Structure 1
Amino acid sequence: MPNISTKGLSMPESPIRKLVPFAEAAKKRGINVIHLNIGQPDIKTPQVALDAVKKNSITTLSYSKTEGNDSYRTKLATYYLKHGIEITAEDILVTTGASEGLSFVIGSIADTDDEIIVPEPFYANYNSFSIAFGVNVVPIVSKIETGFALPSIADFENAITAKTKAILICNPNNPTGYLYSEEEIKQLAHLVKKHDLFFIVDEVYREFVYDGKEHYSALKEKNIDDHCIVIDSVSKRYSMCGARIGCVITKNKTLKNTILKFMQARLSPPSYAQIASEAALDTPQEYFDEVIAEYVLRRDTLIQGLNKISGVKVISPQGAFYCIVELPIKDSDTFAQWMLEHFNIANETVMVAPAAGFYATEGLGKNQIRIAYVLDKETLKRAICILEQALKEYRLNED
């Protein structure tokens, strides 16, 4: 048999999806699986977006422009302007999801064995994209004891080497729900300019901020135009995960032209999905107000329930719709699989994402899980009860 590539063998399994075969087997046995493992909201997609696809008069579904439809990028620039972010359509490159955007960015800024500094835990695909391009992730540990706040700037500076190309953060953070403050963004902006690095900020969850707090975009930092790269997407904002439309935003013309070459190789982003995404920009503010209120209710339901479980540690998220939960067990991978294979209450069980896959440092996150609170309040309550009983039974036999 021919050999598989080293990159292929090194590619990690997704902590979000790797247990899917066990979940599917459970469903075949008649078990209802409550999915807390994946950020797929049950919120309805804005009708205006769906109608734009249903009612369009396209007769030939042709390629779009490589960088995305002009009308969509122009309208998207207006959206950012409403949020105090001054960019133009020329600063926006439309990608097939935020994932493709980040992948193209890494390919454009880093060579084999170069390094990108990322506070951990972080979205697992950051590691996957880096491995695909032969780039090394250098983790800076953030801890549950500090609410997963930004590690000290000294920690970042000490990690910078001749091979460092960028600092990458997600704001608000997936998987922790931490919201980086304006001051923290400014500190990182100063650092990347001082060391001539790129500053990549994943702002996919920028709309989901709670408790009266505000999201501060890295694009508001005027003195880092050549350094700043923002990744965004319609997936979560409009509950349009299946559209696969994202974007890269940068004012760095050389970088933009480089990313465009990667984009040309994949031809163009999806045409129908761009139509839906452009229409979604007309979604009224009332939609977001209701969605935010619903997520606050779900967050509070989840956190209050988890805090009642003996031995569980969790921090209330300030944004996005995830949290990292520390469990009184040794190995969350084994526990998560056990719940799918061997545990249920009234033919119902829970699927979670083991958190070790959100860390690059070996051994960290082994007793943690990530929960996505994207389901309704009553479902979350049932999930908490199942999780509590599962922990009791599992711990009796863990040793």
Structure 2
Amino acid sequence: MPKISKKGVEMPASPIRKLTPYADKAKKDGKKVYHLNIGQPDIETPEIMLDAIKNIDFNVWAYTPSEGTLAYRTKLAEYYNKIGYGITPADILVTVGGSEAITIAMQTCINEGDEIIIPEPFYANYNGFACMSNVVVKPILSHIENGFALPSADAFEALITEKTKAIIICNPNNPTGYLYSKEELEALKELCLKYDLFLFSDEAYREFCYDGKEFISPMHLDGLDENVIIMDTVSKRYSACGARLGCLITKNKEVIQSALKFAQARLSPGMVEQIAGAAAVDTPDAYFESVNKEYTLRRDTLVGRLNAIEGVFCPNPGGAFYVVAKLPIDNSDKFCQWMLEHFDYNGATVMMAPATGFYSTPGSGEQEVRMAYVLNNTDLNAAMDCLEAGLKAYPGKI
């Protein structure tokens, strides 16, 4: 029998989706499952975006340019320049979701066997993207005790070798919700300039910053234009995960020209999605204000309920819509599966993502879970009732 590839064997499974069969079985058995495992917002997609799709009128559903339509890239430049990026449509490559932006960035900028430094815990699929691109991930550990603040510049510098080509950050962070400060980004800037590194910035959660905290992008830092690669998506900003529409942004002309060759190889991003994306740029500020207020309420509910449970610790995140919580359990993979397979409270259970999958360092995150506060407040409270009861009943509680 033919064998699958070495890469196929090594490709990691998603910690966010790997427990789905157990959730499906729980539902088949009649349990209600509260999904806190995945960042699928229940917030309504902006009406202006949906109306653009409903009003589409064309006779041929054609290819678009590999870099994306000029109309969409022009509207995107308008959006980014409103927040001070100072870019042109030529600095934008439209991608099929933020995931493709990340893989194209890796394949464009990093040679096989070269290294990228990523603060962990990090978005689990970075491991998968690195595997696809034959790139080596060098994790740098952040800690729940200080809210997952960025490690020191010295800690980063200790990991830099002749094979290091880039640093990746996600800001605000998935899975921790940590919002990086200007001082932390300035420290990364100095390292990137000193060692001639790329700085990849995943900004999928840019619109979700709380308590009046300011979002700072590497695009806002002087003297870093040739080093910065922004990777973005409409998925979270407009609650449009199914659109699969993202972009790569850089002022480095050599990078954008090389990235285009990878984009040409996959032909083009979708026409309908770009029509909707262009309309979405005109979403009123009131939409984001309302969404921000709702997520702040949900965050406060989830963090408050978690920290009220005996033995649980959860930092208060400054952005995104995730928390990582430390639980009094022996193993998060076992616990999350047990909650789906063997436990219910009033006919319901909770699906969470084991945090082990968001680390690259072996043994890390074994008592931690990631939760997405993408459910309404009533369901969040019900989920926390269920979790609290589950922790009391779990045989591996410590």
Whether the TM-score (by the shorter chain) exceeds 0.5 is yes
Alignment-derived partner of residue 149 in structure 1? 149
Alpha-carbon separation, structure 1, partners of 2:147 and 2:193 = 27
What is the identity, as a one-letter code, of the residue corresponding to 1:384?
M
SS in 1 for 2:223: helix
TM-score normalised to structure 2 length: 0.99
The residue that corresponds to 1:185 in the other structure is 185
CA RMSD of aligned residues (A): 0.9
1:85, distance to aligned residue in structure 2 (A):
1.6
After TM superposition, give the deviation of residue 222 of structure 1 in Å.
Answer: 2.8
The letter for the 1-side match of 2:299 is R
One-letter amino acid of the counterpart of residue 65, structure 1: P
Partner residue of 2:231? 231
| Contact 2:103/2:129 (8 A) holds in 1 | yes
Unaligned runs of 5+ residues in structure 2 are: none
* Structure 1 residue 344, shift from structure 2 partner: 0.8
Cα distance in 2 between the residues matched to 1:69 and 1:330: 51
Letter of the structure 2 residue corresponding to residue 286 of structure 1: A
Check conservation: 2:328, 2:397, Cα contact below 8 A: no
SS at match of 1:313: coil
Mapped partners of 1:215, 1:75: distance in 2: 21
Which amino acid in structure 1 is aligned with residue 250 of structure 2?
T
- What is the CA-CA distance between 1:331 and the residue it aligns to? 0.5
Whole-Å separation in 2 of the counterparts to 1:192 and 1:146? 25
The equivalent of 2:264 in structure 1 is: 264
Name the amino acid aligned to 2:144: I
Describe the SS at the equivalent of 1:222.
Answer: coil
For 1:350, the equivalent position in structure 2 comes to 350
The reply on whether 1:326 has 2:305 as its aligned counterpart is no
Once residues 196 and 13 of structure 1 are traced to their aligned partners in structure 2, the CA distance between those partners, rounded to angstroms, is 33
What is the CA–CA distance in structure 2 between the aligned matches of 1:284 and 1:306, rounded to whole Å? 34
Q: In the TM superposition, what whole-angstrom CA distance separates every residue of 1:147-195 from its partner, at most 9, and x where no partner exists? A: 1000000010110001001000000000000000011111101110110
- Counterpart Cα distance in 1 of 2:17 and 2:161: 34
TM-score normalised according to structure 1 size: 0.98
Q: Which amino acid aligns with 1:389?
A: A
CA distance in 2, matches of 1:222, 1:308: 43
- 1-structure distance, mates of 2:8, 2:137: 17
- Asked if 1:285 corresponds to 2:285, the answer is yes
- The C-alpha deviation readout for 1:6-26, integer Å capped at 9, x for no partner, is 111111110100000111111
- Residue aligning to 1:274: 274
Structure 2 counterpart SS, 1:230: strand
> Displacement of 1:385 after TM fit?
0.5
> How many residue pairs were aligned?
398
Displacement after TM superposition at 1:398 (Å): 5.4
| Maintained 8 Å contact 2:391/2:397 | no
Equivalent AA in structure 2 for residue 72 of structure 1: Y
What code does the residue aligned with 2:392 have? K
Correspondence list, 1:29-68, <5 A: 29-68=29-68
- Paired residue type of 2:378: E
Listed as ranges, the matches of 1:290-305 within 5 Å are 290-305=290-305
State the match for 2:79 in structure 1: 79
